[in-house]
Amino acid sequence: MNGLIRASLNNPYAVTVFCLTLVLVGTLSLFMIPVDILPVFKSPAVQVLTFYGGMPAEGIEKDITSRMERWTNQANGRSSAPASSGTISRGTPTPRAP
């Protein structure tokens, strides 16, 4: 360790060139880093299915689905549900399995 200190004190130009080389390599590598570090983000999707055994579809629509639509209307990005449907979708739709 003493040899490194003595060599550094005896060669101030070499130390300066070494430090400037480190700064230059660091600056170049900073510009070579890709800008898009994070993956593509897809917003999550929520789908609510309403099942109520023994109740007709119109009853589910009037009693349950309409209330749920009123509650979720305050959320951003809500897509509307078709009439007489027991399904409420929100966000990016996901494909359904056949």
Q: pTM for the whole thing?
A: 0.35
Mean pLDDT, residues 54-66 taken together:
78
Q: Which amino acid is at 71?
A: W
CA distance 12 to 18: 10
Show the tokens assigned to 65: 């689905």
Nearest to 76 by CA among 90, 88, 64, 86: 90
CA distance 8 to 19: 12
Q: How confident is the model at residue 27 (pLDDT cuts 50, 70, 90)?
A: very high
